[in-house]
Chain A
Amino acid sequence: MCPDRQILSAYFDGEIAAPWGREIAAHVATCELCRAQLSRMEGTRGLLTEEEAQGWWAPMERVRLRIIGHVPLERHTVPAWRRQVSLPLPVALIAAALLLTFGITLAVLATRTNMGYIRVTKAPAGGTEYQFAVPYDKVEALLKSMGGAEANIESVMTIPKSVKLIPVGEPRMGKANEFPRKKP
């Protein structure tokens, strides 16, 4: 008696346990009908496998290659000095002008050997600007050389103790001719 189709299909897939599998194998060896059925199953499986390979393999391979192509390890890194930067022309010109001015200033400052420590700049309107680029004591030394020992910042006068002073009003200041009572 031939096994039914489902059992034969399970046997074809190797899903039948050993004692039963041996019984079915002995039967198939003597049954032309069951061998023909197994042969059809084999043909169907071969057809399905071939269709699967032909229909899906190529797209899957393309996707795989695309994914592999974006792996960071395989990306080519360009050095900073070889990168191309695109800027609008006005921005590029302004940047170049600023760099040029900065460079000229640095070059002038680096090559000046007779840099004075006092800079006097006359403005077009007539004003004069003084810039000191030295510690304060150097300026004091300069003024001392100009005026002698009196060049210290603060001078002190000591009023004799016998002089009795008290405020007689608010402090006042003005030109001498505004105080007619005083004749210095």
Chain B
Amino acid sequence: MSARMRGGLVPILLALAVAQTHAQAQSSDNDPKEALQELLSKALTVTVSARVLPPDAQEETPIWNAESTKLTLPGRSIKVRLDGENVRIYLICTPYLQDDGDVLLLAQGQVWFTEPLDKENRYFSTFYSIPVSFGEKVLFFPLGLSDADAQQKNHFNIELEIKIVPYEKKQ
């Protein structure tokens, strides 16, 4: 094959490659209903349960709890805000589907806290990346894990439980 023929063959191959890529990109969005069903099959339900536990470590009955169930898509974050008298807590969860079928949970916690006595403001921001299975529980302690000293001071503990399951259409 002469150099001239090779020179002419390269652009033809390039054109075929471009056409093939374009055809692949177009193949899956011909039917919006099919695309929507595909999207629904990937939807996720994220449940965030907040609990305030009494100082007594043996006591497991929460003195306050609340739950929020959010529907989302992989890569789309949900946000939960907890407002207290001197504390505001943000939990931002972004689930990603992994190739093995599990979920990679990216979570960001933000805590704004005002000291009761000196009114000093404190801010914590943390970021987590946790691979989980569907239904597996993840716990978030925005104010830390209570220790024995805190329990003696009768301070409450707050924890948030995160659970991600596939979306199931309600019948």
A105→B132 CA distance, assembly (Å): 41
User: Chain B's nearest CB lies how many Å from the CB of A159?
Assistant: 4
Give B21's nearest chain A residue, CB to CB: A101
Task: Name the prevailing secondary structure of the A interface residues.
Answer: mixed
Task: Name the prevailing secondary structure of the B interface residues.
Answer: mixed
User: Chain B's nearest CB lies how many Å from the CB of A166?
Assistant: 5
Give A181's nearest chain B residue, CB to CB: B57
For A104, A120, A154, the residue with the greatest tally of chain B CB atoms inside 10 Å of its CB is A120
Asked if A168 and B82 make an inter-chain contact with CB atoms under 8 angstroms apart, the answer reads no
Asked if B107 and A128 make an inter-chain contact with CB atoms under 8 angstroms apart, the answer reads no
User: Chain B's nearest CB lies how many Å from the CB of A122?
Assistant: 6
User: Chain A's nearest CB lies how many Å from the CB of B158?
Assistant: 6
Asked if B83 and A93 make an inter-chain contact with CB atoms under 8 angstroms apart, the answer reads no
Asked if A97 and B138 make an inter-chain contact with CB atoms under 8 angstroms apart, the answer reads no
For A98, A115, A147, A183, the residue with the greatest tally of chain B CB atoms inside 10 Å of its CB is A147
Q: A115-B32, A143-B72, A176-B161 are in contact. Are A104 and B22 (CB under 8 A)?
A: yes
Interface assignment of B169: CB less than 8 Å from any CB of chain A? yes
Asked if A146 and B167 make an inter-chain contact with CB atoms under 8 angstroms apart, the answer reads yes
Q: A155-B70, A159-B52 are in contact. Are A173 and B111 (CB under 8 A)?
A: no
Interface assignment of B29: CB less than 8 Å from any CB of chain A? yes
Q: A118-B35, A147-B71 are in contact. Are A127 and B80 (CB under 8 A)?
A: no
Q: B residues within 8 Å of A by Cβ? A: 4, 7-8, 10-12, 14-15, 18-19, 22, 24-26, 28-29, 31-33, 35-36, 38-40, 42-43, 45, 48-52, 57, 60, 63-64, 66, 68-75, 78-87, 97, 99, 107, 109, 111, 113, 115-116, 122, 124, 126, 128, 130, 132, 136-147, 149-150, 154-159, 161, 167, 169
Q: A residues within 8 Å of B by Cβ? A: 89-90, 93-94, 97-98, 100-101, 104-105, 108, 114-122, 124, 126-128, 130, 143, 146-147, 150-151, 153-161, 163-176, 178-179, 181-184
Given contacts A173-B139, A181-B145, 10 further A-B contacts (CB under 8 A): A94-B11, A101-B15, A130-B42, A150-B70, A154-B79, A167-B122, A168-B150, A171-B141, A174-B139, A178-B139
Closest A-B pairs by Cβ, 10 of them = A169-B144, A116-B32, A97-B15, A147-B71, A93-B11, A159-B84, A176-B137, A155-B68, A157-B66, A119-B29
